[in-house]
Amino acid sequence: MAEDGVETDPLMCLSPLDGRYKSRVGGLSDYFSEASLFKYRCKIEIEYFIALAAVLPQLEQFPKDRFNELRAIYQNFGLSDAKRVKKLESTTNHDVKALEYFIKEEYDKLGLPDPCKEFIHFGLTSQDVNNTAVPLSIKDSLENCIIPTIKSLCEELKARSHEWKDIPMLARTHGQAASPTRLGKEMMVFVERLEKELNILGKCSHEGKFGGATGGFNAHRVAYPKIDWESFGNKFVTDIGLSRQQFTTQIEHYDGMAGIFHCLSRINTIFVDLCRDIWGYISIGYFGQKVKKDEVGSSAMPHKVNPIDFENAEGNLGIANALFVFFAQKLPISRFQRDLTDSTVSRAIGTPMGHSLLAYKSLKKGLSKITVNRKIIENDLEENWAVVSEAVQTVLRREGFPKPYEALKELTRTGDKITQATMTEFIQQLNVSETTKAELAAITPHNYLGYSF
């Protein structure tokens, strides 16, 4: 497989996110590809250098009017720059050090003061860069991609809820016919759950570690003991959009990141629940699916129109959650002041994000294709008159009728089908007022409903 271009062909990709599904999730490459990691690291290094220029006497000579030229290094960072970093890494065998050398090369190209150059990466360990770059990439991906997509799905569900709010529907508890509900209300259940989790996600802390080799600014203090490096670090991390952890080892705690992953996994679990419910409603005919003439549902059965969007979403949500839960359990654990296990794991954060985004898009596509089969829903209600037994026994309780629950149990659990005629006959022989009988007779599976919204 050494042909030119073969290694970049989507058909040769190891992950389906980079192959089959790239067109649907490719935007996440701006946050989680290796080239993007280099770009985020580059931003941290350069913004740190600029921050140092405000406090170090050796950087007073640096021309402040050229800060924007420095910022352009990361703002215009592209694939050719990433390849240069990789080439340097082939010598250093250390990607953060390779990035430092890359920045110094670009610094020289700009003809900036040579004595200032060695303050690039001054006093830092790699994790000061990684543990700010990665949290920032997660924050940006959530704000720009993941959360807007979830919110869009919520709005779609809310719109369907309002469209269907007056459609009565047989409920099912334990798979059995239960007191009727409204189709729109059932969709609002998911909207409420999702909105609560989105609110929690929005309040999750995006944290960064910034404090030198073992978290105490040792190198900074020994070089410049009169500078308040803790205040400097707090301001720097806040300025880039994160919250600085105050007491750390060489790496960040990852507790805040674990909270984000747990919240995303709960959101995904809600979506799995939704996928399975809609799948079920399709299987019993409550929902139909719009058909595209040239699409194929089965290679053997020409009639099939499968709920593939919801199945695809459910599968991808499962993959994402397996990784989110693993990350949340693994990343906060590190031997003593640091081991390297977090490094290889954190490089895969884009994978569950990608499978989640793919699932959200599949789910939205599926929702756009479903139609309500009101006739089947109404027929199902008509075939299940036993569900009004709850209503009847409750009104009878109000009227002081003796053992109303037991009376309805005896009527409905004989194995015989309960019809409108069955209920009418039962009501007429009750020892209650004619007014109450009329009230009971007016209750049907179609109108025995709770509150709407």
Query: Computed over its alpha carbons, how large is the radius of gyration of the chain?
Result: 31
3-state secondary structure of 328: helix
Nearest to 245 by CA among 206, 203, 218, 219: 206
User: For residue 371, what is the DSSP state?
Assistant: E
Label residue 403 left, alpha or beta by phi (over 0 means left) and psi (-120 to 50 means alpha): left
298 catalytic? Reply is yes
Residue 43: partners with Cβ closer than 8 Å, 6 or more residues away: 74, 133, 136, 240
Q: From residue 367, give the alpha-carbon distance in Å to each of 149, 269, 371, 373, 435.
A: 14, 17, 9, 14, 45
Q: Rounded CA gap, 181 and 165, in Å?
A: 10
Specify the residue for token string 């829903």.
377
Catalytic residue among 23, 80, 90, 174: 174
Exposed (0-12), middle (13-18) or buried (19+): which is 5, by Cβ within 10 Å? exposed
Catalytic residue among 298, 368, 433, 452: 298
User: Which contiguous run of DSSP H or E holds residue 172?
Assistant: strand 168-173
Catalytic machinery residues: 174, 298
